[in-house]
Structure 1
Amino acid sequence: MTRIAVGGFLHETNTFAPTKATYDDFVHGGGWPAMAIGADVLKTMRHINVGLAGFVEAAEANGWELVPTISCGASPSAHVTKDAFERIVKVMLDGIRAAGPLDAVYLDLHGAMVTEHFDDGEGEILARVRQVIGKDLPLVVSLDLHANVTPAMVEHADALIAYRTYPHVDMADTGRASAKHLALLLGSKQKFAKAFRQLPFLIAISWQCTNDQPTKGIYQKLAGLESDAVPTLSFAPGFPAADFPDCGPSVFAYGKTQADADAAADAIANIIVGHEDDFDGRIYSPDDGVRHAMELAKTANKPIVIADTQDNPGAGGDSDTTGMLRALVRNSAVNAAIGVIYDPASAKAAHQAGIGATVALSLGGKSGIPGDAPYQENFIVEKLSDGKFVAPGPYFGGRDMDMGPSAALRIGDIRVVVSSHKAQLADQSMYRYVGIEPTEKSILVNKSSVHFRADFEPIAAQLLICAAPGAMPADTATLPWTRLRPGIRIKPNGPEFSPENSRSPSPSIG
């Protein structure tokens, strides 16, 4: 029987963010499933939208025996601590060493991990795995669409295969695609040629959405370029908040010959570069966005949904800034809701006060973002929750969620979801678990950039993007870059980065 060692270790690192990812963050998981080790991995990784879960399903259909090591992820944040990285990688490597004879290794990684001691977290993981398994055993890896792919990652893996949707509704599908490619490797007993291209400009995450052009069309053309000669081709727009030389978009192809791989990689890279002008769009200030939403809501029969993109916990924000809440209150918005504000102390105070009580809070604003501060006001406690629920929408895909003690608060005609753990608001259930029905609201403000669209576009009259204070600026040119590779443009058609001209401005907060 074919024996495959498997594991997962996912983190998207915003090196400008306020909070690092500790070992305990990976134990809990945030929006990811809680850490599982050994046989528990195969119990956790089933029937959910995660790369490893899709691989497990395909592997079992192929009759492969799986040797699970560890699976874990944590909410995007600043650097992964050295302690967390070394403890998790040790479990993974020890599991591979103890597995006995293996035919291959599959890993579900993010591709944009920066640790306290390594710029290229995944490159280091793959180098260490390769040291254990040798140069001949197939090593296949699924990656996030936001991966900042490095030469080391390409060197050590036999195939890197990235998601093709943002919102990421195809994470499990990417695991299945990885299993399909691994079957090719095992069947032919030959490796494919590799081609890797790093692209010349950063792309802000708001314009990476695959529901919209140009990205939607690019992925359609990419799929059309795959063939027997080029079994897999990926475009990773990158995660543009990691200050190291390999940050940015990339293309990677695997072909029967080097010429096949090079031709496919060059074709899709040229298409992407040709769309540089299109990777930009309208972003509102908090007040302008709220006022525009209020005007649209007068004639809409569905909610107007606003992305609080700069405080997206899916991009390293702490999900606790108050700029959009202040704008809702300042403009007297009606029938509005905002979530999720991460503030364990305020959630605890609401639970202690009880439903119906009026409680004075210093809400949110605790992550030290320039231009932000706690919002000191009186709130009415409308609903309490232990924070446990299932998120059935297309992004989370049925994951068990644990937001910790949570509450629905009201100020004026505005409802606020407050939690004790953070995960981006990418599922309608993240309002419902505290008694707020999102389809009945006139305005919804989601602390997310794009993932929310998978579950909210069907119920939305219109989507807007606002830039309130937060750790993930919507304009990549405003970040204080110091270590990018020379010559890359820090936004589409923007200035080129050079070490001599690196600067340290405060991130734009809108």
Structure 2
Amino acid sequence: MTSPLDRPISGPLRVGVAGLHIECSTFSPHTTHDEDFTVRRGQGLLDLFDFTRRGAAAWAEQVEWVPLVHARAVPGGPVAPATYQRLRDELLDRLTGAGPLDGLLLDLHGAMHVPGHDDIEAALAADVARTVGADCLISCPTDLHGSITEALVTQVDLITAHRLAPHEDEWETRERAARLLVHCLRTGQRPSKAWVRIPVLLPGEKTSTQVEPGRGLYASLAEVEAAPGVLDAALWVGYAWADEPRGAAAAVVLGTDEQAAVTHAGRIAERYWNARDEFVFVGPTGTPQEAVSAAVSAVRRPFVISDSGDNPTAGGAGDVAGLLQTLLDDARLAEGGLETIYASIVDPEAVAECVRSGAGSTVRLAVGGRMDVLHGRPAELVGRVDFLSDSDAPGGRTAVVTSGGVHTILTSRRQPFHHIEDFTRLGLDPFGADIVVVKIGYLEPELRALAADWMIALTPGGVDQDLLRLGHRRLARPLHPFDPELTDPDLTPRLVPPRSAALRGDRP
């Protein structure tokens, strides 16, 4: 009997939309629970994806987008098993209740971690694949910082990743995955999948596409995609802060020609491997003390410091206070009349004390160091409560405490500060500041535009840029840079079996 995927579908299509998206550091003491996820269903889910709007894209005509459930959280520590099970079960229940689907857009990150599982996204994809059956084509957009295994690639029909870091093409990637899904349904194609593991694991701040060699490597993917017999090309740098055997770079090429897919996947892998020693930090780096000294003496302002080791958007706890204490202890800031913004420390107890004291009051607080007790002590903060936000702020109830010229933002929940509005809604003007410190790695676009100059402070935390001092124990070795004497590996791609074969239990 011929599968519907062996013939074109010219009429209306039913395509489900679902996702479970988070990046998890196993070195972070934070645990991700139900309340950390933003969960969308129904029209609220579809509103995330512009191409689902009627008339938004010609390729999406005659597609009924079926919203299932989409859960996304700020990167953090491992997902609590009970939280994962509830979200997974809801997704599978909604898939079962949705009726027959021609396709499914399954939005994953590629670096989720649940204790007891080393490749949870492959397990989730397998559950989804069994639920929808072999006649439903599954397309999976992911983050280029995912660690993508052969097991995951086996359980989906199409998989791709962002091509920019910072991820300015995040939503474009999801649209590309959806567009390719519809194309394959319309043409009856089930692409060949060539996957290759590349034994390199580097932090995102060394593999940014803003600089070489990352810029050129990722730019070349569009050229590969345009080659005869190729439908899509993807390259993942892996997720460096999870101590899992799957941690490594990878490449996947999807194609209508098996040999073309294998050839191009091998070339991508070889280029990445050969460039492994050329990757450098996307900006100047230094110790916390060096970063503060550079900021104090800077001619161009505002000077932005990246507090990189505790970056919540990579999985850090968000409450390591060492760099804040360095600022508070540095008399040069006050002597020079330097206005400094520190964003931020998550500490709901400190915020509650600010609320009790009230705006305009003077408070004496020990802030931070409550979750991540391994990487520093609380900072001693004595200052005036200058601002209190409502509890519906992105970081929950939020306070700004000013000590000398240092404005410290305290949040009740972990919150990234990527946009100018994140500051101005708290009564702070980052453009008027001399120094702005943000818990981040490479700078997101608005912060990059803000910074007249900047430096990455190599601070400790759950996403420490110095991978060798984190203490990985479970990585599949040998692996660069953990094994500097590693000789050239076998980078021969594997043709991953069709999902229908995986569902039958066929061996590759």
Equivalent-residue separation in structure 2 for 1:140 and 1:453 (angstroms)? 27
Q: Which of 417, 425, 433 is 1:433 aligned to?
A: 425
Distance 1:494 1:19, change over 3 A: farther
Name the larger-Rg structure.
Answer: 2
The equivalent of 2:269 in structure 1 is 269
Q: Which moved more, 1:361-370 or 1:140-149?
A: 361-370
The equivalent of 1:457 in structure 2 is 448
Counterparts of 1:69-88 in structure 2 under 5 Å? 69-88=68-87
Q: Does 1:156 align with 2:158?
A: no
The equivalent of 1:294 in structure 2 is 296
The equivalent of 1:6 in structure 2 is 17
| Aligned-pair CA distance for 1:289 | 0.8
| Aligned-pair CA distance for 1:469 | 2.7
Distance 1:388 1:164, change over 3 A: farther
User: Does the CA-based 8 Å contact 1:406-1:417 persist in structure 2?
Assistant: yes
Equivalent-residue separation in structure 1 for 2:349 and 2:59 (angstroms)? 45
User: Does the CA-based 8 Å contact 2:317-2:372 persist in structure 1?
Assistant: no
Equivalent-residue separation in structure 2 for 1:201 and 1:62 (angstroms)? 42
Gaps of 5+ in 1: 27-33, 390-401, 497-510
Equivalent-residue separation in structure 2 for 1:59 and 1:492 (angstroms)? 50
Equivalent-residue separation in structure 1 for 2:401 and 2:134 (angstroms)? 57
Distance 1:421 1:322, change over 3 A: same
Q: Secondary structure at the match of 1:273?
A: helix
User: Does the CA-based 8 Å contact 2:372-2:461 persist in structure 1?
Assistant: no
Equivalent-residue separation in structure 1 for 2:160 and 2:27 (angstroms)? 27
Equivalent-residue separation in structure 2 for 1:159 and 1:368 (angstroms)? 38
| Aligned-pair CA distance for 1:358 | 0.5
Counterparts of 1:328-407 in structure 2 under 5 Å? 328-332=327-331, 333=333, 334-386=338-390, 388=392, 402-407=394-399
Equivalent-residue separation in structure 2 for 1:466 and 1:494 (angstroms)? 29
TM-score, structure 2 normalization: 0.88
Equivalent-residue separation in structure 2 for 1:56 and 1:321 (angstroms)? 48
Q: Does 1:16 align with 2:27?
A: yes
The equivalent of 2:459 in structure 1 is 468
User: Does the CA-based 8 Å contact 1:54-1:175 persist in structure 2?
Assistant: no
Counterparts of 1:201-280 in structure 2 under 5 Å? 201-227=200-226, 228-280=228-280
The equivalent of 2:400 in structure 1 is 408
Equivalent-residue separation in structure 2 for 1:46 and 1:336 (angstroms)? 38
Structure 2 letter corresponding to 1:335: E
Q: Secondary structure at the match of 1:4?
A: strand
User: Does the CA-based 8 Å contact 1:202-1:476 persist in structure 2?
Assistant: no
User: Does the CA-based 8 Å contact 1:25-1:74 persist in structure 2?
Assistant: yes
Structure 2 letter corresponding to 1:295: S
User: Does the CA-based 8 Å contact 1:46-1:56 persist in structure 2?
Assistant: no
**What are the Cα deviations for residues 416-458 of structure 1, in whole angstroms up to 9, with x where unaligned?**
11111112222222221211111111111110112x4311111
Distance 1:53 1:479, change over 3 A: farther
The equivalent of 1:30 in structure 2 is none
**What are the Cα deviations for residues 479-503 of structure 1, in whole angstroms up to 9, with x where unaligned?**
211211121124594779xxxxxxx
Distance 1:56 1:19, change over 3 A: farther
The equivalent of 1:311 in structure 2 is 310
Q: Secondary structure at the match of 2:285?
A: coil
TM-score, structure 1 normalization: 0.87
| Aligned-pair CA distance for 1:376 | 2.4
**What are the Cα deviations for residues 104-157 of structure 1, in whole angstroms up to 9, with x where unaligned?**
111111111111232111101110111112223210011011111011111011
Distance 1:429 1:108, change over 3 A: same
| Aligned-pair CA distance for 1:46 | 4.9
Q: Which of 472, 482, 487 is 1:481 aligned to?
A: 472
Structure 1 letter corresponding to 2:358: G
User: Does the CA-based 8 Å contact 1:317-1:472 persist in structure 2?
Assistant: yes
Gaps of 5+ in 2: 1-11, 488-508
Q: Does 1:134 align with 2:126?
A: no
Equivalent-residue separation in structure 1 for 2:80 and 2:364 (angstroms)? 35
Structure 2 letter corresponding to 1:380: R
| Aligned-pair CA distance for 1:371 | 4.2
Distance 1:78 1:56, change over 3 A: farther
Q: Secondary structure at the match of 1:315?
A: coil
Structure 2 letter corresponding to 1:20: T
Equivalent-residue separation in structure 2 for 1:117 and 1:291 (angstroms)? 44
User: Does the CA-based 8 Å contact 2:418-2:446 persist in structure 1?
Assistant: yes
Q: Secondary structure at the match of 1:338?
A: strand
User: Does the CA-based 8 Å contact 1:93-1:132 persist in structure 2?
Assistant: yes
Distance 1:158 1:46, change over 3 A: closer
Structure 1 letter corresponding to 2:136: L
The equivalent of 2:497 in structure 1 is none
Equivalent-residue separation in structure 1 for 2:214 and 2:391 (angstroms)? 35
